[in-house]
A and B are shown apart, each in its own frame.
Chain A
């Protein structure tokens, strides 16, 4: 047992204590103290197994601490601290509580040493993040939150089924590198891939994150996908299919981002794209690529938080989040500090030298190079271009610049810098991006494997600059073609938003056809029953066209003369006799 307290537990307790505090300033101080306490606890805890509890014969390991889990633990705590500064002005206690639970659950996943405690925190994470989305308290966020929750509960169920089958096959529930093969491991991977937002299981992310609150979205970007990357790094390194999924996903996210109009949805598609690098790195499975995935997760959390803070600040001030509504209002004149911080995040995600994307992203591409995988390398490279194009060129151009408002834009907008705490949070996050970009040793020292990679090789710096400059040049020539349209893009969520409704309609149609068929058969039966009450009269009516309704058969009224029967018999008998005599 350790003397330190589980950092996730600190968050959970913090979430429960927070509503009891009455004074607002006390609440604010408390909000900042919780991640600081968690950081101290992380710093104090040594490597090894901690917080092991026996529960009716099952061993729960809540604290498996090694370099990999510490790396993710540190960045989760760091981004919670930065995000809490960003959210200090928010008076909605429920939102803070949900956020603290979300962060705590992500830390619980990170330090889980057995599969059942992993699942436990996995589900807490899904539920708490749905509450973070619902805290926007709009109709759209309510619906998006329910869709989000359904997808994640489905993924969680797949994970649990996989865990049970895996435990049944191997007899162990230790959460470590898994044998890939067998239905149990496939189901587990499927559950994890849903959380990692790998297409086609990704649409919950661009669907739900933009509907969350300004501050809630900053936390959402950090935990769910990155804890899934952690689980992949731990359990499924070197699984070949992840290489292709990751590489395709980087470009997929970029293509959707280029045509997106909603600024926070555009950034959400870039989460899909960036997580693709990490998934690809896990799949490549070399020390360099795995280090790259962990480092990129660390850096991505920071710069993506910064980007969402910038886009959120625009939403907070103007109440608008579509480029067609923001373009032309020349916001850059009124919020230059916010724009500067956003651009720092933009250059970081694009992998510009001196910022942290540059110290992490090339590791994965170079690992693909060392394994001589040209297609993967080029796809990752192409995604870099698209990332720079849409986050750092198109989005700022469409949001802060533009000569005059378009036809869909409102005539006036409220224009100002966001609240001071938001700017301070953005400044600190930007500083963290610079720190890990200029002095990457702080990052490389906490990576799971020893790092021999030098990010500042002359060649790497030069080609990165060339790539970025000429991407910018192509944007300059084509910028008029990139104008946003007031449209939405269909994604695979169509299948459960429209497709499911159509399926339901089809089921109703089939049920309706059955009713029609049943009714007509019933009528036929009823008609036949009616006619059968008096077959002779019915035959008269139908065949001979005689008038008159059906009267029940009455022997005295409807019986024919006996001679008729005798005549039928004689005719039949004569026919039979002829046939019999002729062919005897």
Chain B
């Protein structure tokens, strides 16, 4: 039962399941890849977090009283 509570195992389970996603109407080559959305969701999220943090630190973030 402990396994069911750990998100890592649940994710791994869904990941394996996602290999059996039926394909829909194909517009782009990646839509033939059944695991594409899983990987895109996971790595897209990581890229967004790191890019935003880097962008914020480097360029735009200032102290709260910057405009005062």
A interface residues, Cβ below 8 angstroms from B: 254-256, 258-259, 369-370, 372, 374, 377, 381-382, 385-386, 389, 457-460, 462-464, 466-471, 473-476, 478, 481-482, 485-491, 497-498
* A460, B24: Cβ atoms closer than 8 Å: yes
Given contacts A478-B46, A481-B53, contact A466 B14 (CB under 8 A): yes
How far, in Å, is A237 (CB) from chain B's closest CB?
22
A–B complex contacts, Cβ < 8 Å, 9 sampled: A254-B48, A382-B48, A385-B48, A459-B22, A460-B24, A471-B42, A474-B45, A474-B49, A485-B61
- Chain A residue nearest to B29 (CB atoms) is A374
User: Would you list which residues of chain B between 6 and 33 have a CB under 8 Å from chain A?
Assistant: 7, 11, 14-15, 18, 21-25, 27-28
Q: How long is the Cα–Cα vector from A429 to B53 in the complex, in angstroms?
A: 33
B62: Cβ under 8 A from any A Cβ: yes
B63 CB contacts on chain A under 8 angstroms:
487-488
Given contacts A255-B48, A258-B49, contact A487 B62 (CB under 8 A): yes
Q: How long is the Cα–Cα vector from A255 to B41 in the complex, in angstroms?
A: 16
B interface residues, Cβ below 8 angstroms from A: 7, 11, 14-15, 18, 21-25, 27-28, 37-46, 48-49, 51-53, 55-56, 59-64, 66-67
Q: How long is the Cα–Cα vector from A329 to B26 in the complex, in angstroms?
A: 48
* B48, A466: Cβ atoms closer than 8 Å: no
Q: How long is the Cα–Cα vector from A386 to B24 in the complex, in angstroms?
A: 24
A370 CB contacts on chain B under 8 angstroms:
27
Q: How long is the Cα–Cα vector from A258 to B42 in the complex, in angstroms?
A: 16
* A473, B64: Cβ atoms closer than 8 Å: no
* B61, A488: Cβ atoms closer than 8 Å: yes
A475 CB contacts on chain B under 8 angstroms:
45
A468 CB contacts on chain B under 8 angstroms:
41
* B11, A470: Cβ atoms closer than 8 Å: yes
Most B CB within 10 A of own CB, among A374, A381, A490: A490
How far, in Å, is A129 (CB) from chain B's closest CB?
22
* A459, B52: Cβ atoms closer than 8 Å: no
B49 CB contacts on chain A under 8 angstroms:
258, 389, 474, 478, 481-482
Q: How long is the Cα–Cα vector from A389 to B23 in the complex, in angstroms?
A: 26
With A258-B49, A458-B22, A469-B14 known, 7 other A-B pairs at CB within 8 A are: A258-B48, A259-B61, A369-B28, A377-B28, A463-B37, A470-B11, A488-B66
Among A254, A369, A464, A486, the residue within 8 A (CB) of B64 is A486
A458 CB contacts on chain B under 8 angstroms:
22, 24
- Chain B residue nearest to A485 (CB atoms) is B61
Q: How long is the Cα–Cα vector from A468 to B42 in the complex, in angstroms?
A: 9
A382 CB contacts on chain B under 8 angstroms:
44, 48
Q: How long is the Cα–Cα vector from A377 to B51 in the complex, in angstroms?
A: 20
* B44, A374: Cβ atoms closer than 8 Å: no
Q: How long is the Cα–Cα vector from A490 to B66 in the complex, in angstroms?
A: 9
How far, in Å, is A502 (CB) from chain B's closest CB?
13
* A469, B59: Cβ atoms closer than 8 Å: no
* A487, B23: Cβ atoms closer than 8 Å: no
* B45, A471: Cβ atoms closer than 8 Å: yes
* B53, A259: Cβ atoms closer than 8 Å: yes
A471 CB contacts on chain B under 8 angstroms:
41-42, 44-45
Q: How long is the Cα–Cα vector from A466 to B15 in the complex, in angstroms?
A: 9
B48 CB contacts on chain A under 8 angstroms:
254-255, 258, 382, 385-386, 389
* B22, A467: Cβ atoms closer than 8 Å: no
